[in-house]
């Protein structure tokens, strides 16, 4: 599945972020204050067009806020994370334009767009939105258990990876052994080996078949075959019919009948 998604991160409402809210990156840099991922929470995750830019996303987002979005309109100090088929980039929102950030998601080297704060997640082929409520790390990769926001526990859960790709569907018992096995099969798919094609056996002449047969079979055929041109690996071949053989048999039959009649005195 080709993923084109964007995530909106906004500062948490905690004492540590009071002086950071709505500050430009330039001001933070002058004060020696880094952009700390722990100060942010993901407020929205949505789909975007392949040609989208941070500017077009901000304009479209602010014109019509999603119903399930609980934050404020995209403003200075927010961070946009764009996921274009697994290639992620984080942008700090400035008053005019954006500043690209490095290492905004240090816990996700691949640039994951899904985290434990994810809500409002939309998946192609699934109705409604999803939120993350549990996670697991297998073979160095993180996977998230998602619950449907509209139906809650009435709907089966799903498992997605950090990019939002569906890994296991119809989950009922969390990260049980069956689900973990499904994740491992995704990480390490079995490779089917193609059977090597055997070379085609050439068509042999009778004398070649004779030479190819084993010593025992050749001797057996020489004893039983009715003609040597049929020594071909199959026993008890019949001799080819000779042309005119039927006429010869009738002639001999007439001669025999005449001989018998002569002996009996019927033929003078």
Chain segment 22-81, per-residue pLDDT in tens: 999 999 988 888 898 889 998 888 888 888 999 999 998 888 888 878 888 899 999 999
pLDDT in tens, 200-212: 767 766 656 655 5
Q: What is the pLDDT of residue 120?
A: 78
Q: What is the pLDDT of residue 162?
A: 83
**Average pLDDT of the residues of the chain:** 79
Q: In the numeric block, which tokens belong to residue 127?
A: 């109705």
Q: What is the pLDDT of residue 249?
A: 76
Given CA atoms 164, 165, 166, 172 in this order, what sign does their dihedral have? negative
The residue among 138, 136, 146 whose CA lies nearest residue 170 is: 146
Q: In the numeric block, which tokens belong to residue 178?
A: 């069956």
Percent of the chain with pLDDT over 70: 75
Of residues 156 and 106, the one with the higher pLDDT is: 156
Compute the distance between CA of residue 64 and CA of residue 189 in angstroms, rounded to an integer. Answer: 42
Contacts of 112 (CB under 8 A, 6+ apart): 88, 105, 142, 161, 162, 163
pLDDT in tens, 163-189: 888 999 999 999 999 999 999 999 988
Q: What is the pLDDT of residue 158?
A: 96
Please state the domain extents for the chain. 4-187, 197-237, 244-268
Q: What is the pLDDT of residue 2?
A: 45
Torsion of CA 225, 226, 229, 235, to 10 degrees: -30
Q: What is the pLDDT of residue 108?
A: 44
Q: What is the pLDDT of residue 167?
A: 95
- Residue 59 CA to chain centroid, in angstroms? 36
Compute the distance between CA of residue 93 and CA of residue 79 in angstroms, rounded to an integer. Answer: 6
Diameter over CA atoms, the chain: 147
Q: What is the pLDDT of residue 106?
A: 54
Query: Is residue 92 predicted with pLDDT exceeding 90?
Result: yes
Confidence of residue 1 (pLDDT cuts 50, 70, 90): very low
Query: Is residue 247 predicted with pLDDT exceeding 80?
Result: no
Using a CB cutoff of 8 Å and minimum separation of 24, what contacts does 83-87 make? Answer: 83/3, 83/4, 83/5, 83/6, 83/7, 83/111, 83/113, 83/163, 83/164, 84/3, 84/4, 84/50, 85/2, 85/3, 85/4, 86/3, 86/110, 86/111, 86/163, 87/111
DSSP state letters, 129-168? -EEEEEEEEETTEEEEEEEETTTBTTS-EEEEETT--EEE
Of residues 88 and 221, the one with the higher pLDDT is: 88
Query: Is residue 116 predicted with pLDDT exceeding 90?
Result: no
The residue among 168, 193, 194 whose CA lies nearest residue 181 is: 168
Query: Is residue 109 predicted with pLDDT exceeding 50?
Result: no
Percent of the chain with pLDDT over 90: 27
Which range has the worst mean pLDDT, 121-125, 217-221, 246-250? Answer: 217-221
Contacts of 231 (CB under 8 A, 6+ apart): 206, 209, 210, 213, 218, 221, 222, 225
Confidence of residue 240 (pLDDT cuts 50, 70, 90): low
Model confidence, pTM: 0.44
Q: What is the pLDDT of residue 107?
A: 45
Given CA atoms 173, 122, 182, 155 in this order, what sign does their dihedral have? positive
């Amino acid at each position: 599945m080709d993923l084109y998604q964007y995530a909106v991160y906004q500062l948490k409402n905690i004492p540590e972020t009071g002086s950071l809210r709505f500050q430009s990156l330039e001001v933070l840099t002058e004060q020696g204050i880094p952009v700390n991922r722990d100060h942010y929470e993901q407020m929205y995750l949505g789909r975007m067009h392949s040609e989208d830019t941070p500017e077009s996303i901000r304009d479209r987002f602010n014109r019509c806020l999603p119903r399930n979005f609980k934050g404020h309109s995209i403003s200075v100090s927010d961070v946009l994370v764009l996921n274009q088929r697994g290639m992620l980039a984080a942008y700090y929102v400035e008053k005019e334009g954006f500043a690209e950030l490095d290492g905004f998601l240090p816990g996700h080297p691949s640039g994951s767009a899904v985290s434990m704060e994810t809500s409002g997640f939309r998946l192609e082929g699934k109705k409604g939105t999803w939120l993350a409520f549990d996670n697991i790390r297998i073979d160095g990769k993180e996977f998230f258990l998602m619950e449907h926001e509209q139906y809650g526990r009435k709907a089966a859960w799903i498992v997605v990876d950090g990019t939002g790709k569906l890994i296991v569907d119809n989950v009922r018992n969390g990260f049980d052994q069956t689900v973990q096995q499904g994740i491992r099969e995704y990480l390490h798919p079995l490779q089917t080996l193609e059977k090597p094609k055997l070379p085609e056996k050439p068509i042999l002449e009778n004398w070649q078949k004779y030479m190819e047969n084993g010593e025992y079979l050749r001797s057996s055929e020489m004893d039983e075959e009715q003609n040597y041109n049929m020594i071909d690996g199959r026993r008890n071949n019949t001799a080819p019919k000779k042309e005119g053989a039927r006429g010869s048999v009738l002639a001999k039959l007439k001669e025999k009948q005449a001989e018998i009649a002569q002996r009996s005195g019927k033929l003078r």
